[in-house]
């Protein structure tokens, strides 16, 4: 049974259709990247998964329950970090962490203190003195110190410095080893690439791509820069080769990943002197969807 199973999810706010048939499956024990441009519906989806908003249509199951109806029961097994953490000015960070812990029904004291140390957060300071990054850390420590099976992280590292970002990544790796499930909405592609087993990319409230990073790479092109001993001829006519720039024994082109093998065979016949193959980055995948978004909205 998947930890999150969403299909055909629709949510409208007045005239705006925030979610328009969104599908999302997060298997138990995986770290799932949730990507999409600003305003594509990521936060709305997470709010529905938390039972804060009621879906207009579609089915939503979280940990086998209905997030709207069974919200309180499910929340004992879930933790959440919002992208923009707001706290109460006169309350200290430590108090907030304990409050959230006690409201959820328990907090691992030892782990809480260890995380405070790792994130270099002073829990005795009033929230009004915290920077954005420190407020973010408060919510992160509260979530990571819980025993939640499922963590919903909505751009959790916004405002963190690179050192803390690295610490966050280590924490997520540890949670993964413990078998917890994490839905990670993020704009930091390096973070998603480093942490996620599978990703879903959404746009305009719909899922446009979903799968493992390896699967998604198959859908895109690999960039190849090659130097051979024998002159390169006819490479641009091979199936799957695009944007070829051939200069005698040098060539630069991109190739559909499914045709990579055939192209490499042809190149080795020409006796390869040097070869650089760059797999598509997540950024390429991402931009492919984002750029069409831009054209649509422009």
CA distances to 45, 77, 290 from 35, in Å: 12, 24, 10
Q: Whose Cβ is closer to another protein: residue 35's or residue 85's?
A: 85
Q: Whose Cβ is closer to another protein: residue 37's or residue 82's?
A: 82
Q: Whose Cβ is closer to another protein: residue 76's or residue 240's?
A: 76
Q: Whose Cβ is closer to another protein: residue 57's or residue 276's?
A: 57
CA distance 55 to 47: 10
Least distance between another protein and beta carbon 7 (Å): 20
Q: Whose Cβ is closer to another protein: residue 32's or residue 104's?
A: 104
Q: Whose Cβ is closer to another protein: residue 132's or residue 266's?
A: 132
Least distance between another protein and beta carbon 77 (Å): 10
Task: Please write down the long-range contacts of 231-236, taking CB distance under 8 Å and 24 or more positions apart.
Answer: 231/270, 232/267, 232/270, 235/263, 235/266, 235/267
Least distance between another protein and beta carbon 152 (Å): 8
Q: Tally Cβ neighbours within 10 Å of residue 8.
A: 14
Binding site for another protein (CB under 8 A): 12-14, 16, 47, 50, 52-54, 69-73, 75-76, 78-80, 82, 84-88, 90-91, 95-96, 99-100, 102-105, 139, 142, 152
DSSP string across 29-73: T-EEEEE--TTSSHHHHHHHHTTSS--SEEEEEETTB-TTTTHHH
Least distance between another protein and beta carbon 138 (Å): 9
Q: Closest Cα to residue 50, out of 34, 35, 72, 29?
A: 72
Least distance between another protein and beta carbon 126 (Å): 12
What's the DSSP call for residue 269? H
Contact 31, 4 (CB under 8 A): no
Least distance between another protein and beta carbon 101 (Å): 8
């Amino acid at each position: 049974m998947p930890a999150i199973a969403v299909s055909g999810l629709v949510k409208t706010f007045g005239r705006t259709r925030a979610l328009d048939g969104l599908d999302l499956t997060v298997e138990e024990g995986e770290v799932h990247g949730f990507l999409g441009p600003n305003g594509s519906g990521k936060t709305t989806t997470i709010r529905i998964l938390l039972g804060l908003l009621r879906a207009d249509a579609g089915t939503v199951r979280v940990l086998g329950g209905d997030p709207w109806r069974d919200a309180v029961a499910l929340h004992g097994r879930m933790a959440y970090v919002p992208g923009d953490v707001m706290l109460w000015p006169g309350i200290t960070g430590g108090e907030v962490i304990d409050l959230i812990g006690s409201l959820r029904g328990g907090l691992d004291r030892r782990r809480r203190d260890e995380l405070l140390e790792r994130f270099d957060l002073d829990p005795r300071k009033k929230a009004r003195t915290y920077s954005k990054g420190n407020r973010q850390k408060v919510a992160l420590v509260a979530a990571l110190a819980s025993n939640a099976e499922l963590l919903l992280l909505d751009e959790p590292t916004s405002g963190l410095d690179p050192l803390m970002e690295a610490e966050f990544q280590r924490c997520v790796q540890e949670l993964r080893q413990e078998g917890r499930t994490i839905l990670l909405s993020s704009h930091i592609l390096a973070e998603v690439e480093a942490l996620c087993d599978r990703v879903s990319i959404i746009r305009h409230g719909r899922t446009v791509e979903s799968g493992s990073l390896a699967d998604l790479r198959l859908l895109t092109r690999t960039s190849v820069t090659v130097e051979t001993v024998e002159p390169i001829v006819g490479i641009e006519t091979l199936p799957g080769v695009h944007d070829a720039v051939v200069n005698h024994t040098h060539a630069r082109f991109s190739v559909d990943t499914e045709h990579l093998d055939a192209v490499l065979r042809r190149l080795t016949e020409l006796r390869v002197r040097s070869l650089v193959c760059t797999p598509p980055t997540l950024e390429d995948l991402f931009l492919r969807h984002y750029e069409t978004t831009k054209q649509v909205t422009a």
